Amino acid sequence: MRWESGNRITLLRNGTEFFPALAASIEAAQHEIHLQTYIYELDATGAMIGEKLKAAAARGVAVHLLLDGFGSRKLPPEYVLEMEAFGVKVMFYRPKISPWSFKRNRLRRLHRKVSVFDGQHAYVGGINIIDDMNVPSNLDAPRVDYAVRVDGPLVLSIHASVRNLWRRLAWMHLREVSAYPNLPAPPFITNGMRAAFVVRDNVLHRRDIERAYLKAIGKARVDIIIASAYFVPGKKFRQALIEAAKRGVRVRLLLQGRMEYWLMFATHEVYGLFLRHGIEIYEYRASFMHSKVAVVDSRWATVGSSNLDPFSLMLAREANIMVQDKRFNAELKADLEKAIAEKSVQVRPEDWSRRHVFKCAFSWIVYVVVRLMIGLVGSKEKH
Protein backbone atom coordinates (compact mmCIF):
# COMPACT_ATOMS: atom_id res chain seq x y z
CA MET A 1 0.00 0.00 0.00
CA ARG A 2 1.47 3.33 -1.08
CA TRP A 3 0.25 6.50 0.60
CA GLU A 4 0.17 9.67 -1.52
CA SER A 5 -0.12 13.24 -0.28
CA GLY A 6 -1.70 16.21 -2.06
CA ASN A 7 -5.11 14.72 -2.86
CA ARG A 8 -8.69 15.87 -2.53
CA ILE A 9 -11.11 13.08 -1.61
CA THR A 10 -14.77 14.06 -1.89
CA LEU A 11 -17.40 11.88 -0.24
CA LEU A 12 -20.46 11.05 -2.36
CA ARG A 13 -23.56 9.60 -0.72
CA ASN A 14 -25.77 7.32 -2.76
CA GLY A 15 -26.58 7.69 -6.43
CA THR A 16 -28.21 11.02 -5.62
CA GLU A 17 -24.75 12.58 -5.39
CA PHE A 18 -22.73 10.08 -7.39
CA PHE A 19 -24.60 9.84 -10.70
CA PRO A 20 -24.80 13.60 -11.43
CA ALA A 21 -21.05 13.85 -10.70
CA LEU A 22 -20.32 10.83 -12.92
CA ALA A 23 -22.49 12.21 -15.74
CA ALA A 24 -20.75 15.59 -15.56
CA SER A 25 -17.32 13.91 -15.77
CA ILE A 26 -18.38 11.93 -18.84
CA GLU A 27 -19.66 15.09 -20.52
CA ALA A 28 -16.44 16.98 -19.76
CA ALA A 29 -14.04 14.20 -20.87
CA GLN A 30 -11.94 15.07 -23.91
CA HIS A 31 -9.57 12.14 -24.41
CA GLU A 32 -10.21 8.93 -22.46
CA ILE A 33 -12.80 7.32 -20.18
CA HIS A 34 -12.46 4.08 -18.26
CA LEU A 35 -15.53 2.82 -16.38
CA GLN A 36 -15.49 -0.51 -14.54
CA THR A 37 -18.49 -1.82 -12.63
CA TYR A 38 -20.03 -5.04 -11.37
CA ILE A 39 -23.67 -4.27 -12.22
CA TYR A 40 -24.86 -2.26 -15.19
CA GLU A 41 -28.66 -2.20 -15.18
CA LEU A 42 -30.59 -0.76 -18.12
CA ASP A 43 -32.97 1.27 -15.95
CA ALA A 44 -33.34 5.07 -16.03
CA THR A 45 -29.89 5.56 -14.52
CA GLY A 46 -28.18 3.04 -16.79
CA ALA A 47 -29.88 4.53 -19.86
CA MET A 48 -28.77 8.04 -18.85
CA ILE A 49 -25.15 7.02 -18.28
CA GLY A 50 -25.22 5.02 -21.52
CA GLU A 51 -26.36 8.07 -23.50
CA LYS A 52 -23.52 10.11 -22.01
CA LEU A 53 -20.98 7.40 -22.89
CA LYS A 54 -22.28 7.10 -26.46
CA ALA A 55 -22.12 10.87 -26.92
CA ALA A 56 -18.55 10.93 -25.59
CA ALA A 57 -17.45 8.17 -27.97
CA ALA A 58 -19.20 9.92 -30.88
CA ARG A 59 -17.15 13.09 -30.29
CA GLY A 60 -13.90 11.11 -30.35
CA VAL A 61 -13.26 10.20 -26.71
CA ALA A 62 -11.81 6.70 -26.22
CA VAL A 63 -14.48 5.09 -24.02
CA HIS A 64 -13.70 1.77 -22.27
CA LEU A 65 -16.57 0.05 -20.44
CA LEU A 66 -15.66 -3.08 -18.46
CA LEU A 67 -18.53 -5.05 -16.90
CA ASP A 68 -18.71 -8.24 -14.89
CA GLY A 69 -20.17 -11.20 -16.77
CA PHE A 70 -22.37 -12.23 -13.84
CA GLY A 71 -23.33 -8.91 -12.29
CA SER A 72 -24.23 -7.41 -15.69
CA ARG A 73 -25.64 -10.57 -17.24
CA LYS A 74 -29.09 -8.95 -17.64
CA LEU A 75 -27.79 -6.15 -19.86
CA PRO A 76 -29.47 -6.78 -23.26
CA PRO A 77 -27.00 -7.87 -25.97
CA GLU A 78 -28.68 -5.52 -28.44
CA TYR A 79 -27.94 -2.60 -26.12
CA VAL A 80 -24.27 -3.59 -25.97
CA LEU A 81 -24.20 -3.68 -29.78
CA GLU A 82 -25.84 -0.26 -29.88
CA MET A 83 -23.16 1.18 -27.60
CA GLU A 84 -20.41 -0.40 -29.69
CA ALA A 85 -21.97 1.07 -32.84
CA PHE A 86 -21.41 4.52 -31.32
CA GLY A 87 -17.77 3.65 -30.62
CA VAL A 88 -17.94 2.57 -26.97
CA LYS A 89 -15.54 -0.31 -26.34
CA VAL A 90 -17.32 -2.88 -24.17
CA MET A 91 -15.82 -5.97 -22.55
CA PHE A 92 -17.17 -8.48 -20.03
CA TYR A 93 -15.05 -9.95 -17.25
CA ARG A 94 -15.57 -13.75 -17.22
CA PRO A 95 -18.67 -13.71 -19.46
CA LYS A 96 -19.19 -17.48 -19.49
CA ILE A 97 -21.09 -18.60 -16.41
CA SER A 98 -21.99 -22.20 -15.65
CA PRO A 99 -24.50 -22.71 -12.83
CA TRP A 100 -23.11 -26.21 -12.28
CA SER A 101 -19.43 -25.32 -11.94
CA PHE A 102 -17.66 -25.34 -8.57
CA LYS A 103 -14.31 -24.23 -9.96
CA ARG A 104 -12.52 -21.43 -8.16
CA ASN A 105 -13.06 -18.95 -11.02
CA ARG A 106 -16.84 -19.44 -10.72
CA LEU A 107 -16.85 -16.87 -7.91
CA ARG A 108 -13.95 -14.72 -9.11
CA ARG A 109 -15.85 -11.65 -10.20
CA LEU A 110 -15.05 -8.05 -11.12
CA HIS A 111 -16.73 -6.47 -8.11
CA ARG A 112 -14.85 -3.17 -8.08
CA LYS A 113 -16.42 0.12 -9.18
CA VAL A 114 -13.75 2.43 -10.59
CA SER A 115 -13.81 5.12 -13.27
CA VAL A 116 -11.11 7.52 -14.52
CA PHE A 117 -11.47 10.57 -16.78
CA ASP A 118 -8.62 11.92 -18.89
CA GLY A 119 -6.23 10.66 -16.23
CA GLN A 120 -7.14 13.74 -14.16
CA HIS A 121 -9.75 12.54 -11.66
CA ALA A 122 -11.37 9.26 -10.65
CA TYR A 123 -14.28 7.73 -8.78
CA VAL A 124 -13.93 4.72 -6.49
CA GLY A 125 -16.62 3.20 -4.30
CA GLY A 126 -19.41 0.69 -3.95
CA ILE A 127 -22.10 2.17 -6.22
CA ASN A 128 -23.07 0.18 -9.31
CA ILE A 129 -24.77 1.64 -12.39
CA ILE A 130 -28.30 1.03 -11.11
CA ASP A 131 -31.09 3.21 -9.72
CA ASP A 132 -31.03 3.76 -5.96
CA MET A 133 -34.71 2.84 -5.93
CA ASN A 134 -34.11 -0.41 -7.83
CA VAL A 135 -34.41 -2.55 -4.70
CA PRO A 136 -35.96 -6.02 -4.29
CA SER A 137 -39.06 -4.79 -2.47
CA ASN A 138 -41.63 -2.01 -2.48
CA LEU A 139 -39.70 0.13 -0.03
CA ASP A 140 -40.07 3.84 -0.62
CA ALA A 141 -36.46 4.44 0.39
CA PRO A 142 -33.23 4.43 -1.63
CA ARG A 143 -30.41 1.92 -1.43
CA VAL A 144 -27.58 3.26 0.75
CA ASP A 145 -24.00 3.27 -0.51
CA TYR A 146 -20.93 5.49 -0.88
CA ALA A 147 -18.30 6.52 -3.40
CA VAL A 148 -15.53 9.11 -3.50
CA ARG A 149 -14.18 11.42 -6.15
CA VAL A 150 -10.38 11.47 -6.18
CA ASP A 151 -8.30 14.42 -7.41
CA GLY A 152 -4.54 14.64 -7.12
CA PRO A 153 -1.45 12.43 -7.57
CA LEU A 154 -3.27 9.28 -6.39
CA VAL A 155 -5.16 9.29 -9.70
CA LEU A 156 -1.94 8.12 -11.39
CA SER A 157 -2.14 4.77 -9.58
CA ILE A 158 -5.86 4.39 -10.26
CA HIS A 159 -5.39 5.26 -13.92
CA ALA A 160 -2.57 2.74 -14.31
CA SER A 161 -4.70 0.06 -12.65
CA VAL A 162 -7.69 0.46 -14.97
CA ARG A 163 -5.52 0.69 -18.08
CA ASN A 164 -3.53 -2.42 -17.16
CA LEU A 165 -6.63 -4.47 -16.42
CA TRP A 166 -8.25 -3.44 -19.71
CA ARG A 167 -5.08 -4.25 -21.66
CA ARG A 168 -4.70 -7.64 -19.98
CA LEU A 169 -8.30 -8.66 -20.63
CA ALA A 170 -8.19 -7.39 -24.20
CA TRP A 171 -5.17 -9.60 -24.82
CA MET A 172 -7.02 -12.60 -23.32
CA HIS A 173 -10.12 -11.88 -25.45
CA LEU A 174 -7.97 -11.43 -28.56
CA ARG A 175 -9.12 -7.83 -28.83
CA GLU A 176 -7.04 -5.09 -30.43
CA VAL A 177 -5.65 -2.58 -27.92
CA SER A 178 -5.06 0.82 -29.46
CA ALA A 179 -2.30 3.03 -28.07
CA TYR A 180 -3.35 5.05 -25.07
CA PRO A 181 -3.03 8.84 -25.40
CA ASN A 182 -0.28 10.56 -23.43
CA LEU A 183 -2.07 12.56 -20.74
CA PRO A 184 -0.67 15.11 -18.28
CA ALA A 185 -0.23 14.08 -14.68
CA PRO A 186 -2.92 15.24 -12.27
CA PRO A 187 -1.83 18.28 -10.21
CA PHE A 188 -0.65 18.14 -6.59
CA ILE A 189 -3.20 19.82 -4.31
CA THR A 190 -1.70 22.09 -1.67
CA ASN A 191 -2.86 21.18 1.84
CA GLY A 192 -4.44 18.08 0.33
CA MET A 193 -5.20 14.73 1.93
CA ARG A 194 -3.06 11.65 2.37
CA ALA A 195 -4.70 8.67 0.71
CA ALA A 196 -4.00 5.26 -0.83
CA PHE A 197 -5.59 3.18 -3.58
CA VAL A 198 -5.75 -0.46 -2.46
CA VAL A 199 -6.91 -3.35 -4.64
CA ARG A 200 -7.56 -7.04 -4.17
CA ASP A 201 -6.81 -9.45 -6.99
CA ASN A 202 -5.76 -13.08 -7.29
CA VAL A 203 -2.10 -12.56 -8.11
CA LEU A 204 -0.04 -9.90 -6.34
CA HIS A 205 -2.63 -8.30 -4.06
CA ARG A 206 -4.57 -11.19 -2.58
CA ARG A 207 -4.80 -9.86 0.99
CA ASP A 208 -4.04 -6.13 0.67
CA ILE A 209 -7.47 -4.78 1.61
CA GLU A 210 -7.87 -7.15 4.55
CA ARG A 211 -4.37 -6.34 5.81
CA ALA A 212 -5.13 -2.61 5.62
CA TYR A 213 -8.23 -3.15 7.77
CA LEU A 214 -6.35 -5.31 10.27
CA LYS A 215 -3.52 -2.80 10.60
CA ALA A 216 -5.96 0.06 11.23
CA ILE A 217 -7.98 -1.97 13.74
CA GLY A 218 -4.79 -3.02 15.53
CA LYS A 219 -3.83 0.64 16.04
CA ALA A 220 -7.29 1.81 17.14
CA ARG A 221 -7.41 3.58 20.50
CA VAL A 222 -10.83 5.26 20.69
CA ASP A 223 -13.49 3.91 18.35
CA ILE A 224 -14.18 1.84 15.26
CA ILE A 225 -17.26 2.06 13.05
CA ILE A 226 -17.67 -0.46 10.23
CA ALA A 227 -20.63 -0.40 7.84
CA SER A 228 -20.77 -3.53 5.71
CA ALA A 229 -23.62 -5.01 3.69
CA TYR A 230 -22.19 -8.54 3.71
CA PHE A 231 -20.29 -9.30 6.88
CA VAL A 232 -18.85 -12.78 7.44
CA PRO A 233 -15.32 -11.99 8.68
CA GLY A 234 -12.62 -14.61 9.00
CA LYS A 235 -10.88 -15.68 12.20
CA LYS A 236 -8.13 -13.02 12.09
CA PHE A 237 -10.65 -10.26 11.50
CA ARG A 238 -12.95 -11.43 14.28
CA GLN A 239 -10.04 -11.67 16.70
CA ALA A 240 -8.78 -8.20 15.78
CA LEU A 241 -12.15 -6.64 16.60
CA ILE A 242 -12.41 -8.57 19.88
CA GLU A 243 -8.89 -7.52 20.91
CA ALA A 244 -9.76 -3.89 20.13
CA ALA A 245 -12.86 -4.12 22.33
CA LYS A 246 -10.81 -5.69 25.15
CA ARG A 247 -8.41 -2.75 25.24
CA GLY A 248 -11.29 -0.29 25.60
CA VAL A 249 -12.01 0.68 22.00
CA ARG A 250 -15.68 1.25 21.25
CA VAL A 251 -16.50 -1.03 18.31
CA ARG A 252 -19.72 -0.45 16.38
CA LEU A 253 -20.92 -2.56 13.44
CA LEU A 254 -23.62 -1.19 11.12
CA LEU A 255 -24.94 -4.19 9.20
CA GLN A 256 -27.73 -4.96 6.78
CA GLY A 257 -31.02 -5.49 8.58
CA ARG A 258 -33.03 -6.55 5.55
CA MET A 259 -32.18 -9.92 4.07
CA GLU A 260 -31.67 -9.44 0.35
CA TYR A 261 -30.25 -12.94 -0.16
CA TRP A 262 -30.59 -16.02 2.03
CA LEU A 263 -26.80 -16.32 2.27
CA MET A 264 -26.82 -13.12 4.32
CA PHE A 265 -28.12 -15.11 7.29
CA ALA A 266 -24.53 -16.34 7.71
CA THR A 267 -23.79 -12.94 9.26
CA HIS A 268 -25.97 -13.83 12.26
CA GLU A 269 -23.63 -16.64 13.25
CA VAL A 270 -21.03 -14.12 14.48
CA TYR A 271 -23.48 -11.91 16.41
CA GLY A 272 -23.30 -13.88 19.64
CA LEU A 273 -19.49 -13.88 19.71
CA PHE A 274 -19.24 -10.13 19.20
CA LEU A 275 -22.03 -9.26 21.63
CA ARG A 276 -20.36 -11.30 24.38
CA HIS A 277 -17.25 -9.15 23.99
CA GLY A 278 -19.04 -5.82 24.17
CA ILE A 279 -19.09 -5.06 20.45
CA GLU A 280 -22.17 -3.05 19.48
CA ILE A 281 -24.25 -4.28 16.52
CA TYR A 282 -26.81 -2.15 14.70
CA GLU A 283 -29.02 -3.34 11.85
CA TYR A 284 -29.96 -0.82 9.18
CA ARG A 285 -33.69 -1.20 8.60
CA ALA A 286 -34.76 1.92 6.63
CA SER A 287 -33.85 0.38 3.26
CA PHE A 288 -31.22 -1.87 1.71
CA MET A 289 -27.72 -0.92 2.85
CA HIS A 290 -24.88 -1.74 0.46
CA SER A 291 -22.26 0.36 2.25
CA LYS A 292 -18.66 -0.84 2.42
CA VAL A 293 -16.97 1.80 4.55
CA ALA A 294 -15.20 2.16 7.89
CA VAL A 295 -13.75 4.82 10.20
CA VAL A 296 -11.07 4.14 12.82
CA ASP A 297 -10.43 6.92 15.35
CA SER A 298 -9.92 10.23 13.56
CA ARG A 299 -6.98 9.10 11.47
CA TRP A 300 -8.11 6.32 9.09
CA ALA A 301 -11.12 5.70 6.90
CA THR A 302 -11.96 3.62 3.86
CA VAL A 303 -14.59 3.73 1.11
CA GLY A 304 -14.75 1.08 -1.58
CA SER A 305 -16.29 -2.01 -3.10
CA SER A 306 -15.00 -4.68 -0.73
CA ASN A 307 -17.43 -6.33 1.63
CA LEU A 308 -16.07 -8.12 4.67
CA ASP A 309 -16.97 -11.63 3.59
CA PRO A 310 -15.00 -14.51 2.01
CA PHE A 311 -16.13 -13.67 -1.52
CA SER A 312 -14.78 -10.11 -1.45
CA LEU A 313 -11.73 -10.81 0.70
CA MET A 314 -10.64 -14.02 -1.07
CA LEU A 315 -12.05 -14.21 -4.59
CA ALA A 316 -13.32 -10.99 -6.21
CA ARG A 317 -11.46 -8.06 -7.74
CA GLU A 318 -12.04 -5.15 -5.38
CA ALA A 319 -10.83 -1.56 -4.97
CA ASN A 320 -10.89 0.74 -1.93
CA ILE A 321 -9.63 4.20 -1.12
CA MET A 322 -7.95 4.60 2.28
CA VAL A 323 -7.87 8.12 3.72
CA GLN A 324 -5.85 9.72 6.52
CA ASP A 325 -7.58 13.06 7.04
CA LYS A 326 -9.44 14.32 10.11
CA ARG A 327 -12.00 16.36 8.16
CA PHE A 328 -12.91 13.55 5.79
CA ASN A 329 -13.06 11.02 8.60
CA ALA A 330 -15.27 13.30 10.70
CA GLU A 331 -17.66 13.74 7.75
CA LEU A 332 -17.98 10.01 7.11
CA LYS A 333 -18.24 9.23 10.82
CA ALA A 334 -21.02 11.79 11.29
CA ASP A 335 -22.95 10.25 8.40
CA LEU A 336 -22.63 6.75 9.86
CA GLU A 337 -23.58 7.88 13.35
CA LYS A 338 -26.68 9.58 11.95
CA ALA A 339 -27.66 6.33 10.22
CA ILE A 340 -27.12 4.42 13.47
CA ALA A 341 -29.18 6.88 15.51
CA GLU A 342 -32.05 7.46 13.10
CA LYS A 343 -32.39 4.46 10.79
CA SER A 344 -31.05 1.46 12.67
CA VAL A 345 -32.04 -0.89 15.47
CA GLN A 346 -29.51 -2.01 18.05
CA VAL A 347 -29.17 -5.76 18.57
CA ARG A 348 -28.90 -6.19 22.33
CA PRO A 349 -27.30 -9.27 23.96
CA GLU A 350 -30.40 -10.10 26.03
CA ASP A 351 -32.66 -10.01 22.96
CA TRP A 352 -30.27 -12.03 20.83
CA SER A 353 -29.95 -14.78 23.43
CA ARG A 354 -33.74 -15.24 23.42
CA ARG A 355 -34.17 -15.72 19.69
CA HIS A 356 -35.92 -18.83 18.39
CA VAL A 357 -33.91 -22.04 18.22
CA PHE A 358 -34.90 -22.48 14.56
CA LYS A 359 -33.36 -19.12 13.66
CA CYS A 360 -30.15 -20.08 15.47
CA ALA A 361 -29.96 -23.39 13.62
CA PHE A 362 -30.71 -21.79 10.25
CA SER A 363 -27.99 -19.14 10.69
CA TRP A 364 -25.48 -21.86 11.59
CA ILE A 365 -26.45 -23.95 8.55
CA VAL A 366 -26.11 -20.98 6.19
CA TYR A 367 -22.73 -20.10 7.72
CA VAL A 368 -21.54 -23.67 7.15
CA VAL A 369 -22.82 -23.56 3.56
CA VAL A 370 -20.84 -20.37 2.92
CA ARG A 371 -17.67 -21.95 4.30
CA LEU A 372 -18.25 -25.09 2.22
CA MET A 373 -18.75 -23.01 -0.92
CA ILE A 374 -15.41 -21.35 -0.37
CA GLY A 375 -13.85 -24.76 0.20
CA LEU A 376 -15.43 -26.22 -2.93
CA VAL A 377 -14.06 -23.51 -5.17
CA GLY A 378 -10.60 -24.48 -4.01
CA SER A 379 -9.50 -21.87 -1.49
CA LYS A 380 -6.38 -23.01 0.36
CA GLU A 381 -6.06 -19.98 2.62
CA LYS A 382 -6.81 -20.14 6.32
CA HIS A 383 -9.57 -17.70 7.00
Structure confidence by residue, pLDDT tens digits, 106-119: 668 999 999 999 99
Q: In CATH, which superfamily holds the domain spanning 196-376?
A: Endonuclease Chain A (3.30.870.10)
- Contacts of residue 311, defined as CB under 8 A and 6 or more positions apart, other chains included, come to 107, 109, 111, 230, 374
Could you say which residues of the chain have pLDDT below 70?
A: 97-107, 137-138, 259-267, 352-383
| pLDDT at residue 383 in the model | 38
Question: Do the two domains 4-172 and 196-376 of this chain adopt the same fold?
Answer: yes
- Which active-site residues does the annotation give? 111, 113, 118, 290, 292, 297
> What is the C-alpha to C-alpha distance for residues 316 and 173, in angstroms, rounded to an integer?
20
> What is the C-alpha to C-alpha distance for residues 197 and 2, in angstroms, rounded to an integer?
7
C-alpha 373: how far from its chain's center? 21
pTM of the complete model: 0.91
- The full set of domain ranges for the chain reads 4-172, 196-376
- Contacts of residue 346, defined as CB under 8 A and 6 or more positions apart, other chains included, come to 280, 281, 282
| pLDDT at residue 262 in the model | 54
Alpha helices of the chain — where are they, by DSSP H?
14-28, 44-58, 77-85, 154-172, 208-219, 235-246, 271-276, 310-314, 326-343, 349-353, 357-376
| pLDDT at residue 380 in the model | 43
Beta bridge pairs of residue 147:
12, 125
Residue of 183, 121, 182, 124 lying closest to 155 (CA atoms): 121
Residue range 4-172 in CATH 1.10.15.40: no
| pLDDT at residue 362 in the model | 58
| pLDDT at residue 120 in the model | 97
